[in-house]
Amino acid sequence: MLLATFRSPELSPGGRLVERTAVRGVLFRGRELLLLASRHGDYKFPGGGVDPGESFAEALQREFHEECGYVDVAVGTELGTTREEVPAIEAAYDVFGMTSHYFSCTGGSARDGQQLEGYEAELELTPQWVTVDFALAANRAVLASGVGVMRWLVREIAVLEWLSARSR
């Protein structure tokens, strides 16, 4: 199920496209959801790009381990996808297109420390258990402030809104 599509209005049709496939984990513990908090006060789902030769489940388990220090996360059914098209950072391309697949996850335990990439460490991403509505309010506030707004913010707000509506 397609949860949301985002296309930056400044993109010209027919631009050179670089494509990425990503996976994101939706892991609940009771009413709380495991998300990554940034130093700006926003939240994102654990996950990232799928490496060549990796299955979606393998990529998501790797991302939980790297970003959250969690092992033994079981990847369940796909909940939905989002599609984004934004200006590419790489000069060889005009458009960065990414399809993110969101999966229901269970289990997991924090055993290791995080292994963050450079930008993730800069953002001080920290795993936190929060309610959907708390994360949604925080993300909306960061978006409204304009401070530290990351590319993922609009996408994650849409998925959190979907989860919030689904739980009512």
Rounded Cα–Cα distance for residues 138 and 43 (Å) = 7
Rounded Cα–Cα distance for residues 103 and 47 (Å) = 10
| Block mean pLDDT (10 aa), the chain, length 168 | 90 90 97 96 97 97 96 97 93 94 95 86 94 98 87 93 90
pLDDT recorded at residue 13:
85
pLDDT recorded at residue 12:
80
Sketch the domain layout of the chain as residue ranges.
2-166
pLDDT recorded at residue 145:
93
pLDDT recorded at residue 122:
92
pLDDT recorded at residue 151:
80
Rounded Cα–Cα distance for residues 24 and 41 (Å) = 19
pLDDT recorded at residue 93:
94
Q: Which residue has the tokens 């000069």?
A: 91
Whether 22 and 47 have beta carbons less than 8 Å apart is answered as yes
Rg (alpha carbons) of the chain, rounded to whole number: 16
Rounded Cα–Cα distance for residues 158 and 51 (Å) = 25
Superfamily holding 2-166? Nucleoside Triphosphate Pyrophosphohydrolase (3.90.79.10)
- 23: its two tokens: 């996976």
pLDDT recorded at residue 112:
80
> pTM of the predicted model, to two decimals?
0.93
Calculate the CA dihedral of residues 132, 135, 138, 141 and round it to 10 degrees: -60
